[in-house]
């Protein structure tokens, strides 16, 4: 995989000399994705599945083709792909629409992003559900041996991350899914930080639901997916309802369409879906195994660069193996916002600072006031990490 | 602390451009929280600090380290200096608007006068005023001065030296230009001219500058007392009946037409020099002209 060649596909990198290390927030977009969206707006621009004119037919064709491409990329059937506006909506859909009539407990971890944690907490507040937490080590790694104890016969849903947005570490989803299924619980996986970085096969993963966003994997903003096993989707209650979700309506009752249409109310983000499919194609062409290898190399260099800075504190496990090229850290007593702003000012390095929409996770990791996060992707290079390390070293001297 | 400075600066800029209003709002929120001893939540303080330290770091990393370690203390000092400067500057602007000088009625060096360019002054056309030196010379020096102005007084030593060294080669014309900002300045101009009517102008002028603040304070009593010392018998009548008022008004009007904005103002063959060092600059110009053989 040639990062220098890949960089040529990204107009944002051609127009600016910035070092973009904020990919866990959102990634840059390649010209192939931008072009795919342009085609929708300039050549299609109709609505899918409603009108019968030729423009609408073409739009429907491209929209459903996009669904197939995403399904192929993630290893599921096309009717198992539900379009949402992002991973947050997908997680809300799964958590809020799940059937808790027989089991009243959701098991999760304290490392989750607010997008998963808050819907679960809302279900506790509104429905009186119980929340259980999988045991974690001090470095945030899941204690696999004790995990089984937390999932019991009352557990309806195990909702976990595949990779965290705070440390980039992966969770052994397959093992957890196996345990959960043995105990009769369903599994929802937040794949927002994993699908862009690792080869994910939905079937092999063994989860019932998988949520992810387009914009974190080179796609457009405003589009995401909830992947669900056909029967699991069938058992979900309706979420947003409206046009295109129903087969028949009279004033007394509505007969809803089968999934995924049942969950796709109103005009969809066609351009977003087409753009997201283009992003999947782009990544598939590179090969997710290559993406993973590239990130492993970057992760190793990234951790070395941070570790070599005097007074730096890295949060989470110190290993580069099995993690995204992502690291959260602090430098001495310097405020994380100040470090991020100074990196931008001194070397044009774009970083994220704060608690990364995962406040309980950051408290657990020992950074309740927040940290600085560097998250890299396919177009980042070791040279950029070198500049990053030098800049951090300069900053460390002011404390 | 810098939020207070930011609030003032962005608030002022917001009047002229909407793009600064969100920044002003953030600064306001930050300042309001600081007043109530709560931490700033808008992040503006961090942004200001990071930008400041990064800027210093590009010049000197050790200085950046020092500034970072003592940032709060330096911020307090900077903020106090900023607002003290603003108060002085605003006071100066108010004085400049009312008195024509940023120091108010007392006069003195005023930086805003520098905004006015001597190159735009018009050359005086008449020889009205007190005349000395060689009137047939090819070099003419004109001074617009105010007897109660401290800067005219400071320039007087240069004027006397100029008259002493170049009396035979330069024509000198003094045009009274009493500044309204100075108490009794018009009366001083009348008194000096009245003394001139009896041939004692230069002696009287010397007394005026020697005891400038006393004349300014005492006014008529002082002017008449000085006249008695010089045995000026017609002075009281000249002064009381303002017999020379027209002459003063004439040079005052001429000065206004020339665009005079401060005293002393010297013209050497039309080239203007304004302010404290104007007499020295005028002398340098005379030397240059003499070297060219213009006398």
CATH label of the domain that carries residue A101 = 3.40.640.10
pLDDT of residue B115: 59
CA distance A334 to A398: 9
Q: Is A342 on the interface with B (CB under 8 A)?
A: yes
Q: Could you tell me whether strands B140-145 and B171-176 are parallel, antiparallel, or unpaired per DSSP bridges?
A: parallel
Beta bridge partners of A326: A375
Cα(B230)–Cα(B227) distance, rounded to whole angstroms? Answer: 5
User: Quick one: which of B280, B254, B252, B256 has its CA closest to B266?
Assistant: B280
Q: Which of A285, A320, A342 is the last residue of a domain?
A: A285
Judged against a pLDDT cut of 80, whether residue B97 lies above it is answered with no
Per-residue pLDDT at B114 exceeds 60? no
Do residues A56 and A110 share a domain? Answer: yes
Do residue A59 and residue A140 come from a single domain? yes
Say how many domains are in chain A: 2
Task: Report the gap between the CA of A388 and the closest CA in chain B (Å).
Answer: 15
- Please state the rounded mean pLDDT for residues A304-322: 90
Alpha-carbon distance of A321 to A307, in angstroms, equals 16
Test mutation, A390, A395, A398, chain B, max B CBs within 10 A: A398
* Residue B268 pLDDT: 94
CB B30 within 8 A of CB B40: yes
Q: Is A332 on the interface with B (CB under 8 A)?
A: no
A251 in the same domain as A269: yes
Q: What is the pLDDT of residue B113?
A: 62
Looking at residues B56-71, what average pLDDT do you find?
Answer: 92
State which residues form the domain around A310.
287-396
User: CB–CB of A211/A94 below 8 Å?
Assistant: yes
**Which pLDDT belongs to residue A325?**
94
CB A338 to CB B61 under 8 A? no
Choices 3.40.50.1820, 2.60.40.10, 3.40.30.10, 3.40.710.10: CATH for B118-291: 3.40.30.10
- pLDDT per residue over A131-182, tens digit each? 999 998 877 888 888 888 899 999 999 999 999 999 999 999 999 999 999 9
Q: What band does B45 get if pLDDT is binned at 50, 70 and 90? A: confident
Is the bond leading into B264 cis (omega within 30 degrees of zero)? yes
A249 touching B (Cβ < 8 Å): no
**Residue A15 maps to a domain:** no
Q: Are residues A220 and A347 in the same domain?
A: no
Boundary of a domain, candidates A252, A285, A318: A285
Asked whether the beta carbons of residue A338 and residue B50 sit closer than 8 angstroms, the reply is yes
Enter the tokens of residue B56: 């210093």
Q: Which of A28-32, A61-65, B92-96, B168-172 has the lowest mean pLDDT?
A: B92-96
Strand partners, A212: A225
Interface residue of B50, B53, B59, B75 to substitute, partner A, most A CBs within 10 Å: B50
More confident residue, B118 or B243: B243
Of A334, A340, A394, the CB nearest to B61: A394
CB contact under 8 A, A345 and B55: yes
pLDDT confidence of B31, banded at 50, 70, 90?
Answer: confident
Q: pLDDT tens digits, residue range B125-144?
A: 888 899 999 888 889 999 99
Whole-number Cα distances in Å, A188 to A125, A158, A205: 20, 6, 11
Confidence label for A225 from pLDDT (cuts 50, 70 and 90) = very high
Interface residue ranges in chain B relative to chain A, Cβ cutoff 8 Å: 43, 46-47, 49-51, 53-55, 57-58, 61, 64-65, 67-69
Residue of B nearest to A347 (CA): B54
Query: Are A65 and A123 in the same domain?
Result: yes
Q: Which of residues 367-396 of A touch B (CB under 8 A)?
A: 394
| Residues A255 and A380 placed together within one structural domain of the fold | no
Residue B273 bridge partners (DSSP): B266
Chains A, B: CB contacts within 8 A come to 43
Q: How many CB atoms lie within 10 A of CB B27?
A: 27
Q: In what helix (H) or strand (E) does residue B215 lie, and over which residues does it extend?
A: helix B212-218
The beta-carbon neighbor of B65 closest among A340, A341, A398 is A398
At B140 the pLDDT is 93
Contacts of A397 in chain B (CB under 8 A): 61, 64-65
Q: For an interface test with A, which of B39, B42, B44, B46 has the most A Cβ atoms less than 10 Å from its Cβ?
A: B46
- Of the two residues B50 and A211, the one the predictor is more confident about is A211
C-alpha distances in angstroms, B140 versus B130, B134, B135, B168, B252? 13, 9, 8, 12, 19
* Binary contact (A338, B43; C-beta < 8 A): no
Tell me if residue A357 is catalytic. yes
Q: Is the predicted pLDDT of residue B184 greater than 90, yes or no? A: yes
Instruction: Using pLDDT thresholds of 50, 70 and 90, give the confidence band for residue B178.
Output: very high
Mean pLDDT of chain A: 94
Residue A212 has pLDDT above 80, yes or no: yes
Chain A residue with the nearest C-alpha to that of B65: A398
- Give the confidence band of B108 by pLDDT, cuts at 50, 70, 90: low
- Are residues A48 and A89 both part of a single domain? yes
Regarding whether A196 and A333 lie in a shared domain, the answer is: no
Nearest to B57 among A340, A341, A394 (CB): A394
Residue A111 resides in a domain: yes
Interface probe for A, chosen from B53, B58, B63, B72 (most Cβ of A below 10 Å), is: B53
Greatest mean pLDDT among A81-85, B103-107, B133-137 lies in: A81-85
Residue of B nearest to A339 (CA): B50
Q: Are residues A301 and A243 in the same domain?
A: no
pLDDT for B295 equals 62
**What are the residues whose beta carbons fall under 8 Å from the beta carbon of A179, sequence distance 6 or more?**
A147, A148, A151
Going from the C-alpha of A36 to that of each of A23, A26, A30, A59, A351, the distances in angstroms are 21, 19, 10, 13, 28
Q: Which two tokens stand for residue B150?
A: 């401290």
Residues A233, A234, A236, A238, Cα dihedral to 10°: 110
Contacts of B59 in chain A (CB under 8 A): none
Of A337, A342, A397, the CB nearest to B43: A337
- What does residue B70 show for φ and ψ, rounded to 5 degrees? -115, 30
Residue A175 lies in a domain: yes
pLDDT of B105:
63
* Residues forming a β-bridge with A160: A189
Check whether residue A236 and residue A346 sit in a common domain: no
With CA atoms as reference, the chain A residue closest to B49 would be A338
Phi-psi region for residue B293, left (φ > 0), alpha (ψ -120 to 50) or beta? Answer: left
Q: What is the CATH classification number for the domain harbouring A329?
A: 3.90.1150.10
The answer to whether B53 contacts A338, with C-beta atoms less than 8 Å apart, is yes
Q: pLDDT at position B112, please? A: 67
Per the model's pLDDT, the better-predicted residue between A299 and B48 turns out to be A299
Task: Please give the full DSSP string across A294-362, using - where no structure is assigned.
Answer: HHHHHHHHHHHHHHTSTTEEE-S----TTB-SEEEEEETTB-HHHHHHHHHHHH-EE-EEE-TT-HHHH
- A contacts of B54 (beta carbons < 8 Å): 341-342, 345-346
pLDDT at B278 over 60: yes
CA gap B86, B103 in Å, rounded: 15
B45–chain A nearest CA distance, Å: 10
Q: How far apart are CA A161 and CA B31, in angstroms?
A: 40
ipTM of model over 0.90: no
Last residue of a domain, one of A257, A285, A313: A285
Cβ atoms of A213 and A92 closer than 8 Å: no
Per the model's pLDDT, the better-predicted residue between A44 and A358 turns out to be A358
Residue A398 contacts B, CB cutoff 8 Å: yes
Residues of B in contact with A390 (CB under 8 A): none
The CA dihedral of A294, A297, A298, A303, to the nearest 10 degrees, is 160
Does any domain span residue A27? no
From chain A, the residues in CB contact with B61 under 8 A are: 394, 397-398
Q: What is the DSSP letter of A278?
A: H
Does B57 contact A342 at a Cβ distance shorter than 8 Å? Answer: yes
pLDDT tens-digit series, residues A251-308: 999 999 999 999 999 999 999 999 999 999 999 999 999 999 999 999 999 999 999 9
The pLDDT value recorded for residue B256 is 87
Same domain, A254 and A310: no
More confident residue, B40 or B57: B57
Pair (A274, A309) in one structural domain = no
Q: With cut-offs at 50, 70 and 90, classify the pLDDT of residue B76.
A: confident
Neighbouring residues of B109: CB distance < 8 A, sequence distance ≥ 6 = B103, B151, B275, B276
* Distance between CA atoms of residues A363 and A346, nearest Å: 29
CB pair distance less than 8 Å for B50 and A398: no
Q: Residue B209: its pLDDT value, please?
A: 95
- Please tell me the distance from the alpha carbon of residue B217 to that of residue B213, in angstroms, as a whole number: 6
Lowest mean pLDDT among A259-263, B93-97, B193-197, B268-272: B93-97
Whether A256 contacts A17, CB under 8 Å: no
Taking phi over 0 as left and psi of -120 to 50 as alpha, with beta for the rest, A177 belongs to alpha
């Amino acid at each position: 995989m040639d990062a220098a060649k890949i960089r040529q596909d990204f107009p944002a990198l051609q127009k600016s000399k910035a070092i973009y290390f904020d990919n866990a927030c959102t990634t840059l977009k390649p010209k192939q994705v931008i072009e795919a969206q342009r085609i929708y707006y300039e050549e299609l621009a109709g609505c899918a599945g409603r009108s019968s004119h030729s423009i609408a037919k073409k739009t429907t064709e491209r929209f459903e083709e996009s669904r197939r491409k995403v399904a192929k990329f993630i290893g599921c059937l096309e009717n198992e792909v539900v379009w949402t506006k992002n991973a947050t909506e997908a997680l809300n859909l799964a958590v809020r629409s799940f059937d808790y009539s027989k089991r009243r407990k959701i098991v999760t971890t304290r490392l989750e992003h607010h997008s998963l944690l808050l819907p679960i907490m809302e279900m506790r507040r509104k429905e009186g559900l119980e929340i259980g937490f999988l045991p974690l080590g001090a470095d945030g790694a899941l204690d696999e041996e004790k995990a089984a104890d937390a999932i019991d016969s009352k557990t309806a849903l195990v909702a976990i991350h595949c990779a965290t947005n705070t440390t980039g570490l992966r969770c052994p989803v397959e093992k957890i899914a196996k345990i959960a299924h043995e105990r009769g619980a369903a599994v929802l996986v937040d794949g927002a930080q994993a699908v862009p970085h690792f080869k994910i096969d939905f079937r092999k993963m063994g989860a019932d639901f998988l949520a992810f966003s387009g914009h974190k994997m080179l796609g457009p903003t405003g589009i995401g997916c909830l992947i669900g096993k056909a029967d699991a989707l069938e058992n979900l209650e309706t979420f947003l309802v409206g046009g295109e979700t129903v087969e028949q309506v009279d004033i007394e009752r509505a007969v809803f369409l089968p999934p995924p249409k049942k969950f796709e109310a109103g005009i969809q983000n066609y351009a977003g879906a087409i753009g997201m499919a283009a992003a999947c194609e782009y990544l598939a062409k590179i090969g997710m195994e290559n993406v993973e290898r590239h990130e492993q190399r970057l992760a190793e260099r990234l951790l070395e660069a941070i570790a070599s800075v005097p007074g730096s504190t890295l949060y989470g496990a110190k290993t580069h193996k099995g993690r995204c090229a992502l690291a959260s850290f602090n430098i001495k007593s310097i405020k994380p916002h100040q470090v991020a702003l100074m990196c931008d000012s001194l070397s044009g390095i774009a970083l994220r600072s704060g608690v990364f929409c995962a406040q309980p996770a950051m408290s657990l990791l020992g950074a309740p006031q927040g940290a600085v996060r560097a998250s890299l992707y396919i177009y980042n290079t070791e040279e950029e990490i070198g500049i990053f390390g030098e800049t951090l070293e300069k900053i460390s001297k002011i404390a | 602390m810098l939020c207070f400075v930011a609030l003032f600066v962005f608030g002022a800029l917001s009047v002229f451009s909407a793009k600064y209003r969100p920044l002003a709002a953030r600064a306001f929120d930050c300042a309001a929280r600081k007043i109530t001893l709560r931490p700033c939540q808008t992040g503006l303080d961090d942004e200001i600090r990071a930008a400041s330290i990064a800027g210093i770091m590009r010049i000197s990393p050790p200085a950046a380290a020092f500034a970072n370690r003592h940032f709060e203390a330096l911020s307090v000092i900077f903020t106090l200096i900023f607002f003290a400067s603003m108060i002085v500057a605003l006071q100066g602007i108010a004085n400049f608007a009312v008195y024509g000088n940023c120091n108010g009625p007392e006069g003195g060096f005023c930086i805003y006068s520098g905004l006015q360019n001597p190159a735009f002054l018009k050359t005086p056309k008449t020889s009205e005023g007190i005349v000395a030196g060689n009137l047939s010379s090819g070099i003419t020096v004109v001074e617009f001065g105010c007897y109660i102005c401290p800067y005219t007084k400071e320039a007087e030593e240069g004027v006397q030296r100029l008259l002493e060294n170049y009396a035979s080669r330069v024509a000198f014309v003094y045009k009274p230009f009493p500044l309204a900002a100075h108490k009794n300045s018009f009366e001083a101009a009348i008194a000096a001219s009245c003394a001139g009517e009896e041939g004692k102008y230069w002696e009287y002028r010397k007394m005026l500058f020697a005891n400038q603040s006393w004349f300014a304070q005492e006014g008529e009593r002082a002017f008449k007392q000085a006249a008695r010392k010089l045995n000026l018998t017609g002075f009281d009548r000249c002064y009381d009946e303002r017999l020379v008022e027209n002459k003063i008004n004439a040079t005052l009007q001429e000065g206004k037409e020339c665009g005079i904005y401060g005293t002393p103002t010297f013209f050497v063959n039309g080239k203007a020099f304004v302010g404290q060092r104007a007499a020295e600059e005028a002398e340098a110009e005379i030397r240059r002209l003499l070297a060219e053989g213009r006398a």
